[in-house]
Amino acid sequence: MAEAGPTDQVLQFRVHLLDITPMIWRGLQLRADQTLADLHNAIQVAFDWTNYSLHLFERRGRSYCEPRAYGLFGDDATAVKLGEMRLKPGERFSYTYDYTAFWKHQIRFERSMEAKLRTTYPYCNGGARKSPKEDFGGPWYFMQRLDEHSPIDLIRQGYGLLAAIEKGERALLRYIKAHRHEFPEMLYWLTIDQFNRKVVNSRLKHYALGNPAWRERGDT
């Protein structure tokens, strides 16, 4: 079922990455009859992860994950419905993704409510800041890179580009050739405080409808 009915219960979660400041967070709503595996996929979409690495939920001394031929072991997340977990408002549990980088997320259950008509779930109801790129190596390295890309450093890079433009086409082409590998990362850090909820919900809607397009990552 894609769209929720009027009597369906929805659970609202707030998920944020630990050891990163300012906070990077997402608000996620899922139906009570959806599973921890659905929450896993919703987190993957909301944080623009690739779902390539292993993951693990941990709550009250128990571990949950999707079954794989190799890797971590825990209870089957596809068999655990969110509504059957008896979550209490304010309760927290963890979700770790990629056991080399250790992207650890804290999940806080906020409240349950009635589903909205013509709304598909999972649904992202809020968030802040762009998620780290998966190859950044973990929170510590992300924070180190953040320090290296302060607004002053980005302005300095911008002045270098402007200076090349003023010197003419040949100087600009030389500058672009010398710095072309820096531009994608420069754009990332210039837009680090942005979060595109529309892109996330478009992918989550594809997920709810069973459309493989939900796996196509976008700039969130």
Domain match, 206 and 181 both: no
Domain match, 59 and 99 both: yes
| Residue 3 maps to a domain | no
| Residue 220 maps to a domain | no
Domain match, 79 and 165 both: no
**Do residues 46 and 63 make contact, with C-beta atoms less than 8 angstroms apart?**
no
| Residue 45 maps to a domain | yes
pLDDT computed for residue 58 by the predictor = 97
Q: How far apart are CA 165 and CA 173, in angstroms?
A: 9
Domain match, 148 and 45 both: no
Q: How far apart are CA 59 and CA 95, in angstroms?
A: 9
Please name the residues in contact with 156: beta carbons below 8 A apart, sequence gap of 6 or more.
none
Domain match, 81 and 30 both: yes
What's the pLDDT tens digit per position in 8-50?
899 999 999 999 999 999 999 999 999 999 999 999 999 999 9
pLDDT computed for residue 63 by the predictor = 94
pLDDT computed for residue 184 by the predictor = 62
Q: How far apart are CA 92 and CA 132, in angstroms?
A: 22
pLDDT computed for residue 24 by the predictor = 98
pLDDT computed for residue 146 by the predictor = 86
pLDDT computed for residue 21 by the predictor = 95
Q: 180 exposed, middle or buried (CB, 10 Å; 0-12, 13-18, 19+)?
A: exposed
Domain match, 123 and 27 both: yes
Domain match, 31 and 120 both: yes
Alpha helices in the chain (DSSP H): 36-46, 139-148, 151-167, 169-179, 183-190, 197-208
List the domain range (segments joined by +) for residue 107.
Answer: 9-129+195-215
The residue among 122, 16, 110, 105 whose CA lies nearest residue 57 is 105
Tally of domains in the chain: 2
Domain match, 13 and 92 both: yes
pLDDT computed for residue 180 by the predictor = 57
pLDDT computed for residue 182 by the predictor = 61
Coarse DSSP helix, strand, coil percentages of the chain, rounded to the nearest 5 percent? 40, 25, 35
CATH of the domain at 90: 3.10.290.30
| Residue 2 maps to a domain | no
Please name the residues in contact with 208: beta carbons below 8 A apart, sequence gap of 6 or more.
2, 120, 121, 122
Intervals of the chain under pLDDT 70: 1-7, 69-72, 150-184, 218-220
Domain match, 164 and 199 both: no
Domain match, 13 and 109 both: yes
Q: 59 exposed, middle or buried (CB, 10 Å; 0-12, 13-18, 19+)?
A: middle
Domain match, 110 and 178 both: no
Domain match, 119 and 179 both: no
Is the pTM for the entire model greater than 0.85?
Answer: no
| Residue 135 maps to a domain | no
H or E element that contains 49: none
pLDDT computed for residue 217 by the predictor = 78
